[in-house]
Structure 1
Amino acid sequence: MSSDETPTDAEAACFEAGIKFGSLYHQFAGTPVSPDSAPSLETAMEESIENQPHCREVTVDVRLDELEAALAESTADYTELTGRFLEVEIVIGYEDCEVVTHMEMEDGYPLMRLESVRS
């Protein structure tokens, strides 16, 4: 895109999705989490990000199987939240465009991916 071009609605929606994922991940990484606190943390993350402009829906699932496996190797009853414990979907609406994004673990890395762009 050259400096005199205006971004398309799809480009703007994708940009907004990236902002939401950056906010979600970096705001909550390191938060203490346990199997008991996971549901309230999911809700807090969803509601926090849904406050942002153009955000239609956020779904956060803490992967309890991974969380419990990590805690089995520890003497603590909680651990810090990292991408390995999360599956996230964010839906952005910008003008007449809808973007669906998803984050899940892939090869040991929390990969954030664009799933679809609909105009």
Structure 2
Amino acid sequence: MTYYFDKVVLLYQGEQCYFGSTKKAKDFFVRMGFECPERQTVPDFLTSLTSPSERVIRAGFESRVPQTPAEFAAAWRASEEYAQLHQDLQKYDERFPIGGESLEAFQASRRAQQSKHM
């Protein structure tokens, strides 16, 4: 399978239900108790989760899977994937703080480029 995007966000009536790797999104929801029917693409599977008439629940998970947008969002926020996302964001912010050395280097580079064109 070819992936053109490395991240995907799933929103359900304004609630964030997933944000992360396109390669891990399907497994996240399958482990939760949903089924991706044969021949259904991952994007179609993900969007079907936001429609009660389209999503398929695996046998034995009927009373355990989220049903409402708020329940999907709560399940996402309680997940290991969500915790890992926040750890990754914290590491990124530490490496590239707002107003840090990267910004100063960019601004210096920009000034140098602009002075060439004057």
**Same-fold call, TM > 0.5?**
no
- When the two structures are superposed, what TM-score results if normalisation uses the length of structure 2? 0.23
Q: Comparing both structures, which one devotes a greater share of its residues to helix?
A: 2
Larger relative contact order (CA 8 Å, sep ≥ 6): 1
The structure having more radius of gyration, on CA atoms, is 2
- When the two structures are superposed, what TM-score results if normalisation uses the length of structure 1? 0.23
Q: Comparing both structures, which one devotes a greater share of its residues to strand?
A: 1
